[in-house]
Chains A and B, each alone.
Chain A
Amino acid sequence: MKDVIFVVAIIALTGFGLVLWRIPFLEKLDRWAQYAIAFAGGCVIAAVMMFVFSLVHIAWTRGTLLIPLVLFAVLRRGRGFASPEKSGSSAAALQTVFWLTVIGVLTARETCGDLLYFWGPKGQAFYTAEGIDTKFLSFQHYSLMHPDYPPLLPLVYAWGAAMAHRFSWWGALFLTPIALLATLLAFRGITRNTRYTALLAALLGFGFAKGMVAGAGEPLLLLFETIALALLTFHGDDDGALLLAAIALAGAAWVKVEGAAFVAVVVFAYAVTRRRIVRPLLVAAPAAVLFLAWLLFAKHYHLIDQYGRAGQTAHFELLGGVLRDTAKTASYGTFYLPWLSVLAPLPFLRNFRRAALPLLTAGGLFAAVLFFYLHQPDPGFWIASSAERVLLSPLMALLVATAAASE
């Protein structure tokens, strides 16, 4: 029963995001996409609130957490919504992938080791301490848990645990199909393209299973990244869409270290393709504020670990090996099927101008992955353990590019 409460509580984070329905742009999306974006925004709002509560020493209890949830939900404003694009085969693909992911997760076929080793313990420690447990994070023998890693996922887990009065390992795994479904519904609503929603479903469903991401940061990271990139690509001139993209980018920067790199790459690509400076900077502002706030917090409590390695020297002499190993892992054991799937439709497409932003983003993300590996003294280990997961972001960006060129 507590597992169910844990999951329902995480889904209920959507209540925080309902305040985003006040943004007029959302009227252009169907109701399911509105809920999906509310869920993503709700995760960000709840995480920021819990972080602030921790700073001002307000303990996380059901009372202190639920009262703001109710207030945010009341602040919502019911707006109209567009009718959803209908396609039987696309809906079938989406549902098939969702239920396969549910089966995969609940039969322990997609579990990421990082859930056991640090995401779960952090979420549990935060819940027990009723705040961000800096004593736990700074314990020297737990340093391999990356004490300065962005806090959004453990905060979401702590939220679920605070409501269920117990941390749920199965509940943490179940966040994966929830985030996957939200990603697909948001993408379908933003792009109004059912064919590429089906392809994205298959791509991420397979990628999550092969990369073993359940319980780790990738499902939420891909949710934020997909929303931000799709909004900037398809509605890059709408102020409301930019505001939502900015919130999604803030979420990405607070889920994983790679999320900050994504923000930098996509904002650069947006500035280059739109030939503007101020708007991209405004879009990046919430992410920058959250990123700096967490960095200052980590520095104050002597938690700096990953971010302290920014000055590491690159091992360019390993470039050949890094390229070879990354290319080998990038095949996903399927003769590069994920890459072929997102690139195969390109020769039949027209609108390459619109695809420039996600194409540039995909290239930048791939370069960022290589850049990270070149800074490791033993890149082989890192490539073997993470490439299938981190390459999902450039794959998603390529799919957004193909969908954009399809219009």
Chain B
Amino acid sequence: MRQQIESVIVYLCTALLIAAFVTRLVTRGGPYFARPQTIVDHVGPGKHETRDALVLLPKVEKLIPRGAEVTCFRPIEGTANADDTANFYTAVGQLPRQQVQPPFTAMLTVPTGSLVEYVVAVGGPFDHPAYRVIAEFPEGRLYKVER
């Protein structure tokens, strides 16, 4: 009798946990059986902070020479966002053939000669006078420094 009660409890809990598991997957939003574009497409109810970078970086990768120094951030009012660790570290993983530098290397306070060569600006434009746009995509732009 004891063993039967134990079995019922164990299988009931198993069923409840599986139901909670399914609910969790469903609440991440559809489509449910299509391959997503990025590995963060359904991690939360809203858009993940790195999704645009994950779409943009493979596109700009072909335009940046191997070994070139590059940074990546989502500009704030047209300037480099030094605290944008998420897009910076995402770029480290997505641009393995380039040398990814932190966003502060493209700030206005940096002397022109020391500015990072390429900037991947996610989302809005980057308004640094030393940079010009060399490619534009729906998710952002690629800039190159003019020395």
Q: How far, in whole Å, are A128 and B89 apart by their CA atoms in the complex?
A: 17
Is the CB of A104 closer than 8 A to any CB of chain B?
yes
A144–B89 contact, CB under 8 A?
Answer: yes
How many residues of chain B have a CB within 8 Å of chain A?
A: 43
Min CB distance, B33 to chain A, in Å? Answer: 7
Spot the interface stretch: A49-57, A71-79, A203-211, A241-249: A203-211
B17–A100 contact, CB under 8 A?
Answer: no
Please encode chain A, from 108 to 129, with 1 for each CB lying within 8 Å of some chain B CB and 0 for all others: 1111010111101100110010
Please report whether the interface of chain B is mostly helix, strand, loop or mixed according to DSSP.
Answer: helix
Spot the interface stretch: B21-29, B107-115, B125-133, B135-143: B21-29
Min CB distance, A141 to chain B, in Å? Answer: 4
Please encode chain B, from 29 to 45, with 1 for each CB lying within 8 Å of some chain A CB and 0 for all others: 00111111011111100
Which residues does chain B contribute within 8 Å of A1, judged by CB atoms?
none
Q: How far, in whole Å, are A195 and B11 apart by their CA atoms in the complex?
A: 7
Please report whether the interface of chain A is mostly helix, strand, loop or mixed according to DSSP.
Answer: helix
Q: How far, in whole Å, are A107 and B13 apart by their CA atoms in the complex?
A: 26
Min CB distance, B66 to chain A, in Å? Answer: 11
B11–A344 contact, CB under 8 A?
Answer: no
B39–A337 contact, CB under 8 A?
Answer: no
Q: How far, in whole Å, are A106 and B37 apart by their CA atoms in the complex?
A: 11
A209–B96 contact, CB under 8 A?
Answer: no
Q: How far, in whole Å, are A212 and B13 apart by their CA atoms in the complex?
A: 21
Q: How far, in whole Å, are A117 and B5 apart by their CA atoms in the complex?
A: 47
Which residues does chain B contribute within 8 Å of A108, judged by CB atoms?
36, 38-43
Contact of A206 among B11, B20, B92 (CB under 8 A): B20
Given A116-B50, A205-B18, A337-B16, also A111-B7 (CB < 8 A): no
Which residues does chain A contribute within 8 Å of B20, judged by CB atoms?
206, 210, 332, 334, 337
Min CB distance, A71 to chain B, in Å? Answer: 31
A-B contact count (CB 8 A): 141
Q: How far, in whole Å, are A344 and B5 apart by their CA atoms in the complex?
A: 11
Which residues does chain B contribute within 8 Å of A170, judged by CB atoms?
39
Given A104-B25, A121-B93, also A202-B39 (CB < 8 A): no
Which residues does chain B contribute within 8 Å of A117, judged by CB atoms?
85-86, 89-90, 93
A341–B96 contact, CB under 8 A?
Answer: no
A107–B32 contact, CB under 8 A?
Answer: yes
- Could you give 29 example pairs across A and B, Cβ below 8 Å? A107-B31, A107-B32, A107-B42, A108-B40, A109-B24, A109-B25, A111-B40, A111-B43, A117-B86, A120-B93, A121-B89, A121-B93, A144-B89, A173-B39, A196-B10, A199-B14, A201-B14, A202-B15, A202-B21, A203-B17, A205-B18, A215-B39, A334-B20, A337-B16, A337-B20, A345-B10, A348-B2, A348-B5, A349-B6
Q: What is B's interface to A at a CB cutoff of 8 Å?
A: 2-3, 5-7, 9-11, 13-18, 20-22, 24-25, 28, 31-36, 38-43, 50, 54, 85-86, 89-90, 92-93, 96, 101-102
